[in-house]
Structure 1
Amino acid sequence: MERGEQTRRQILRRAAEIASVEGLEGLSIGRLATELEVSKSGVFAHFGSKEELQLATVRAAAKIFVDEVVTPALDLPPGVARLELLLEGWLAYSERRTFPGGCFFYAVQAEFDARPGRVRDAVAEYGRSWNALVRETVEGVPDLAVDAGQVAFELVAFLEMANAQSVLHDDPAAYTRARAAVRSCLDRAIG
């Protein structure tokens, strides 16, 4: 049983790595079996269909994201320090290439944004949850001088732009610029 779960985790980790570069449509049971040196029927037995593989990959990527970005920040009490750690956690997650294509969710959201279906719904739900968490974390900052929803929108935009610039243009300075933009936005908001 444990060996099967370990194999499943390995499959999903590799699937998330591939999807961060090639998208969820780039996943195939045959490719995963070949790369991980397991049988195609063994991979298929874990998921049953490409859609189930895609959904499981989204859940696995979300768990990695939560473990690396969200959980450390939630260990702090509400306030500026929690918000700063949450945002820095996201930048570090993207910058150190937890997934080769940068942020997994940034990479797959454009692929599914206009497609109906369960995979799109799952990607969208994780995006909504992240945006809500950032907004709620902003709201937890005392004496906020501006609209928390607007501040959260701007902060997420800075993070995503850093990811996009660093991946598409191979520009590591994008993270420095994003950190400066985040600092400036927080300074204005906390005033």
Structure 2
Amino acid sequence: MSASAPAATTGAAPGAVDGRRLRGDRTRRAVLDRAVHAASVEGLDGLTFGTLAASVPVNKSGIAGLFGSKEGLQLAVVAHARDVYRATVVLPAAGGEPGLARLWSTVLAWLTYSEERVFDGGCFFRAAATELDARTPGPVRDAVVAALRDWDAYLVRLATGAVERGELAEGTDVGQLVFTLDAVLDRADLASVLLADPDAYARARRAARGLLAAAGADPAALSADGLDD
């Protein structure tokens, strides 16, 4: 072959490539939207390409092509669940006044997220933690652990900010406070999803308000949302 021979051209035009990518992104999003709901009810282990293909407009081989393996699908589902969680729990309160107001708004946003069943099975991460807690560590379990640790660290930052602003008592053990708040939130989700307790979220709001008031918060600052359970 001559060194001066023109190189062969391959591939589609950029517009065609971009169109395929957009369609692929939409398809992936549609599969993940369905998968996070399914996993919140059936568990991450319950996800299969076949069962998803029965409920989304993508065949089994198409889903396999998107995620490669069941573990790849599970990891993508956990990442997608984190995005949804951030959009529905973290961001609604993130623009508010820092300190106690933001902490309280975040707690309320979490209860709304669970109560309104953003995920069909209640809190995705509570369900995933229950499923994976005693498992041998691996990529999927590690991804869930990382999400839960990030959530706790975020609450600790909010509570620490409230202490620094003088809205919670100096010397408050913020680690203990967050541990107990987490327990209240998890119990509300469990009591509603598993026990069908109609008072679960009202009880949780009262319990969270009591914890913050006991840590020195002004009770009046915990009623700004108009709820007075």
Asked if TM exceeds 0.5, the reply is yes
Give per-residue Cα distances to partners, 1:130-159, cap 9 Å, x unaligned: 011111111110222221111111111100
Question: Percent identical across equivalent pairs?
Answer: 50
Displacement, 1:32? 0.6
Counterpart selection for 1:177 from 186, 193, 203: 203
- Shift >4 Å, 4+ stretches: none
| SS of the residue 1:16 aligns to | helix
Q: How many residues are paired up?
A: 191
Structure 1 residue identity aligned to 2:207: A
Q: Partners of 2:74 and 2:111 in 1: how far apart?
A: 25
Counterpart selection for 1:76 from 96, 101, 106: 96
Match status 1:93 vs 2:119: no
Counterpart selection for 2:87 from 31, 49, 67: 67
> 1:163 matched to which residue of 2?
189
**Farther-moved stretch of structure 1 (81-90 vs 106-115):** 106-115
Displacement, 1:67? 0.6
Displacement, 1:190? 2.1
Q: Partners of 2:57 and 2:90 in 1: how far apart?
A: 33
Displacement, 1:95? 0.3
Give per-residue Cα distances to partners, 1:72-96, cap 9 Å, x unaligned: 2221232111011110010000000
Match status 1:37 vs 2:57: yes
Equivalent positions of 1:1-150 (< 5 A) are 1-115=21-135, 116-141=137-162, 142-143=165-166, 144-145=168-169, 146-150=172-176
| SS of the residue 2:102 aligns to | helix
RMSD of equivalent CA atoms: 1.0
| SS of the residue 2:191 aligns to | helix
Structure 2 residue identity aligned to 1:96: E
Gaps of 5+ in 2: 1-20, 218-229
Q: Which has the higher contact order (CA 8 A, sep 6+)?
A: 1
Q: Partners of 2:36 and 2:198 in 1: how far apart?
A: 22
Q: Partners of 1:160 and 1:169 in 2: how far apart?
A: 13
Report the TM-score, using the length of structure 2 for normalisation: 0.81
Gaps of 5+ in 1: none
Largest Rg, 1 or 2: 2
Q: Partners of 1:25 and 1:85 in 2: how far apart?
A: 33
Displacement, 1:112? 1.1
Structure 2 residue identity aligned to 1:83: L
Displacement, 1:113? 1.5
